[in-house]
Amino acid sequence: MSALPALAAAALAAANEPLPAPGHAASVATAPLDVTAETVPDTAATMESALARRAELLVLARQSLLQDQELKLDAVRDRFNAAQAKRAESLREMNVLRDMALEQAKKDDEVLKKYIAMI
């Protein structure tokens, strides 16, 4: 039907990837390390960026699911409104037919009264 559930599933799968281990140099998202540097990579920045990415993916997945639920609710509302409109039209038609039947009964009574008066 829509790509929203697939997008949500992909975002959740990406968000559930494990965070990089502290001291893991391959996951540093900054410029290449200077080979002459003697300091360890900034694991706090790496963890922070991975955590921010995971949080963003979870938010996107949640928004996707909420949009999908809203689309389903809109479809239910549309079906309900259509059914109510059809019911209202049927009630209007029944009222018109009832009014016509009452008018016909009144005219029949008048005709009968005139017929009796002729006798």
pTM: 0.50
Distance CA 101, CA 113 (A): 18
* pLDDT tens string 29-60: 455 555 565 555 677 778 888 899 999 999 99
- pLDDT given at position 25: 47
For the chain, which residues score pLDDT lower than 70? 1-12, 14-41
Place of tokens 């995971």: 54
Contact (CB, 8 A) for 4 and 68: yes
Mean pLDDT of the chain: 81
